[in-house]
Amino acid sequence: MTEEQNKWYNRFRYISLTEGISFLVLLFLAMPLKYAFDMPMAVKVVGWAHGVLFMAYLYVLIPTALKLDWSWKRIFMALTASVLPFGPFVFDQDLKKKYQISA
């Protein structure tokens, strides 16, 4: 992997994992706070942050895919992973295996 490819990979990975964490916080912390404890502000704040991170994920996905020469299948997997709980983490493991990067 070239230095430029590595830069794009690391940028995508950082945004992907951050977006994944925000999604889990939204689902397993903010949503229960809203519906079980009548605290809708948690969903508003976390949901807004997650939305920004999701847009950042989509924004870097295509340039990263082009720089790293991803197949259409891998791009589809990245898009699917972004809407599934724990999806970004599973996709990250797949990328680590593809590029033989240790944890």
More confident of the two residues 25 and 2: 25
* Contact between residue 8 and residue 63 where contact means Cβ atoms under 8 Å apart: yes
Give pLDDT tens digits for 34-78: 999 999 999 999 999 999 999 999 999 999 999 999 999 999 999
Question: What is the C-alpha separation between 19 and 37, in angstroms, rounded?
Answer: 25
Amino acid type, 54: F
Domain residues for the domain of 76 are 3-99
What pLDDT is attached to residue 44?
A: 97
pLDDT of residue 103: 57
Collapsed DSSP state (helix, strand, coil) of residue 16: helix
- Per-residue confidence band for 102, with pLDDT thresholds at 50, 70 and 90: low
Q: What pLDDT is attached to residue 97?
A: 92
- Evaluate if pTM is beyond 0.85: yes
Looking at the structure of the chain, the number of domains it has is 1
